[in-house]
Amino acid sequence: MGNFRHLLLLLGLFGLEVAAQNETLTIAAVTSQIDEFLKLIQNGSLATREASSLPTGCSLACSFINFALPGQVSFPDSITYEYQESRYWSYFQSTDTPTCRFAPVNPLGVSLAVLTVQVTQCEFAVKSGGHGMFSGASNIDGGLTIDLLELNEVIISADQTQTSVGSGNRWVDVYDVLEPKGLSVIGGRVADIGVGGLTLGGGMSFFSGRYGWACDNVNTYEVVFADGSIREVSYSTYPDLYFALRGGGNNFGIVTRFDLATFPQGDLWAGSQTYFYTNETAAALNDAVYWLNINAPSDPYGQVILAYAYVQSFGAWALSAEVQYGKPEAYPPILSNFTKPPGAIASTLAVTNLTALTISFNNSNPGGFRETYWTLTVKNSPTILNDIVNIFQEEINPINTVENLLPALVFQPITEDIISHFSKNGGNALGITTADGPLILINIAISWSLATDDAAVFAAAGNTIARANATAYAQGLGFPFIYQNYAALQQNVFEGYGAANLAKLRAVSEKYDPLGVWQKLQPGYFKVF
């Protein structure tokens, strides 16, 4: 180790600690440090993983970062690497194998990585909770994966109105700190979802009727820019970039910390009622979604997730109304249409708390399967949902024997209460205003086991979306919004935000990332270009 310190001094990498005080590394500094590093290898002072030749590309990026920040980089077959690889929700992501994984312990480490990948031209991916569903979303074959899991601070401000959350936290770890203090934030509904991806894509919570989506509740983002600088982005410091981060996904920098608006929150009343599918129950619950959208302004504490699924063990379709009320009050009138239909085969309605609720949702969404999510948004209507259920059943029934198939179709109201918060602080990038009226968010979520079934499953999901969209537009009920957090890679998320917002997002990208680092060197997920 003494030797190591000597080498660090030799290379000027000791400057990393010094630079930390000023929070800046530059591309020039990192270029010259990598040159020195290569000289050390060339003249035999330093052994590398590759015996014969000088490392290039991601091998160079990995060995250089490993040298500069020992203990934070892991390579295939190590326990650390395998552990981090096991923390993806979807099979498609856990089977991507990066050259190495880097788990920075502070923003400066992220900055070093962002500059190193540019010097070495190494493609990279960034992971928070790892719930992105498709290959390459937050992992990368043969590249560098920056795993934010060590950025896990949760710090409540003295006045309890803001919580600073490291971007590698899972939501349950945030709620664990806040809940005993009677506080909460707008975040995910499944325990293990990451703060990073959910918040950058929008972020639907149990409390969105009162406060909007997660992206509408970030006071300040701490962001590593493409030039390696680390800056505090808020509505007052960088209004254009702040807008772009509110729905822009991974296109605008690596967020290392989110300062989240924090509010008092106690127990909830929540749970589900599950039924065997009948046309009558379906029609009644679909109608209830329509009426909730009409009546929501009378009580923004009520929320619902209405899900249809083919259940192989029943050999039948089932539907489940998941209701949540943000107070510990049973059977609130706003949710009465969802609890009314007779004949439930299971009911879990009870007073509960956020941590327990997100763990129960986590248990009903186990990881490790092949997964695909697709999405669509339609205007509020009492009948369009029946049409979409029929389309989904027509597409799924012919493949319902696919091994371990679990196909779900999920409806969630986007009420005018929710939308009213989208315009806070200059507005978010999603392209929805109260003039659009209440909307219904549609999500198709399918899991299965075998690669030989991939084509059939993707076709059923894609066909459902195309047919549902055509049906909606034919009835004047179409709407362009594509929710990034539920979208398939085949879907055009940013076009769905509308031409004006897409143009703004592209202009912000060109201004803050003129070389296209987030667009080109980070190929995974949805891109504004």
Ligand X SMILES: *[C@@H]1O[C@H](CO)[C@@H](O)[C@H](O)[C@H]1NC(C)=O
Ligand Y SMILES: Cc1cc2nc3c(=O)[nH]c(=O)nc-3n(C[C@H](O)[C@H](O)[C@H](O)COP(=O)(O)OP(=O)(O)OC[C@H]3O[C@@H](n4cnc5c(N)ncnc54)[C@H](O)[C@@H]3O)c2cc1C
Site string for ligand X, 499-518 (x = CB under 6 A): --------------------
Helix, strand, coil distribution of the chain in percent, nearest 5: 40, 20, 35
What residues between 432 and 491 interact with ligand Y by CB under 6 A? 485
From candidates 74, 111, 116, 167, binder to ligand Y by CB under 6 A: 167
Q: Count of H helices and E strands in the chain?
A: 18, 20
481's tokens: 């919004």
Residue 101 CB contacts under 8 Å (≥ 6 apart), including other chains: 73, 74, 80, 81, 84, 85, 144, 145, 147
Asked if 148 is part of the footprint of ligand Y (rule: CB under 6 A), the reply reads yes
Residue 500 Cα to chain centre, angstroms: 24
Site string for ligand Y, 352-391 (x = CB under 6 A): -------------x--------------------------
Asked if 226 is part of the footprint of ligand Y (rule: CB under 6 A), the reply reads no
From candidates 203, 300, 367, 413, binder to ligand X by CB under 6 A: 367
Q: What is the rounded distance in angstroms from the CA atom of residue 84 to the CA atom of residue 101? A: 8
CA dihedral of residues 293, 372, 348, 341 (deg, nearest 10) = 50
From candidates 55, 104, 197, 427, binder to ligand Y by CB under 6 A: 197
Listed in sequence order, the DSSP H helices in 147-265 are 171-178, 195-201, 208-211, 239-245
Q: Which does 250 bind (CB under 5 to 8 A by kind): ligand Y, ligand X, none?
A: ligand Y
Asked if 43 is part of the footprint of ligand X (rule: CB under 6 A), the reply reads yes
What residues between 5 and 64 interact with ligand Y by CB under 6 A? none
Q: What is the rounded distance in angstroms from the CA atom of residue 198 to the CA atom of residue 213? A: 10
Return the closest-CA partner of residue 149 out of 176, 171, 173, 128: 128
Q: Considering only 153-161, 287-295, 401-409, 512-520, which stretch makes contact with ligand X by CB under 6 A?
A: 287-295
Secondary structure (3-state) at 24: coil
Q: Considering only 14-22, 108-116, 305-313, 453-461, which stretch makes contact with ligand X by CB under 6 A?
A: 14-22
241's tokens: 């970039």
For residue 406, give the amino acid letter. Answer: L
Asked if 104 is part of the footprint of ligand Y (rule: CB under 6 A), the reply reads no
Q: Which residues bind ligand X (CB under 6 A)?
A: 10, 18, 21-22, 36, 39-40, 43, 45, 172, 179-180, 191-192, 279, 287, 291-292, 295, 333-334, 336-337, 353, 355-356, 359, 362, 366-367, 376, 390, 465-466, 469, 473, 478
Q: Which residues bind ligand Y (CB under 6 A)?
A: 89, 125-132, 137-138, 148, 167, 188-190, 193-194, 196-198, 200-204, 249-250, 254-255, 365, 485, 524-525
